[in-house]
Amino acid sequence: MTNRETTTRETLTRNQTLVFDALAKAAGPLSAYTILDKLRDDGFRAPLQVYRALDKLVDFGMVHRLESLNAFVACAHPHCGQHGLIAFAICEKCGHVSEFSNDVIEDQVRGWAAANGFKPSKTTVEIRGNCAKCLNS
């Protein structure tokens, strides 16, 4: 039970469900500690409860970690099966995150890796800036 193919929403444990729902209904990314606070009423007491659930959810592909924020978002395409390379555009004013994939970038990464004998396991692409909405206000 370690990948999205064999694990669906139905098989999530109680804690995983609580954490995923918190992320899914949030407007933007949440830090692990923010999630913890939101789940105090559901019995959460310690960071590890959140981190353990997040680890699995990331593993399942249902949640992504934003490295430049130390925060987590629910996947915007939870039913698309296995993603290729995913990029995130993060608005520094309103916190909104857009998730998209880009085959050209993926090819470039693969190309550099092949040329340099590097074997990639995970690629992070995060664009920080301001979203259209914030620029027009």
Site for DNA in 60-99 (CB under 7 A): 70-71
The amino acid at residue 71 is: A
DSSP secondary structure, 12-61, as one string: --HHHHHHHHHHHHSSS-B-HHHHHHHTGGGT--SHHHHHHHHHHHHHHT
Q: Tokens standing for 65?
A: 């970690």
Whichever of 12 and 71 has its CB closer to a copy of itself, that residue is: 71
Chosen residue from 5, 9, 24, 43 binding DNA by CB under 7 A: 43
Return the range that interacts with a copy of itself (CB under 8 A); candidates 2-10, 20-28, 54-62, 126-134. 126-134
Whichever of 6 and 116 has its CB closer to DNA, that residue is: 6
Count interface residues toward a copy of itself (CB under 8 A): 34
What's the gap between Cα 42 and its chain centre? 23
Residue ranges for the known binding site for Zn(2+) are 91, 94, 131, 134
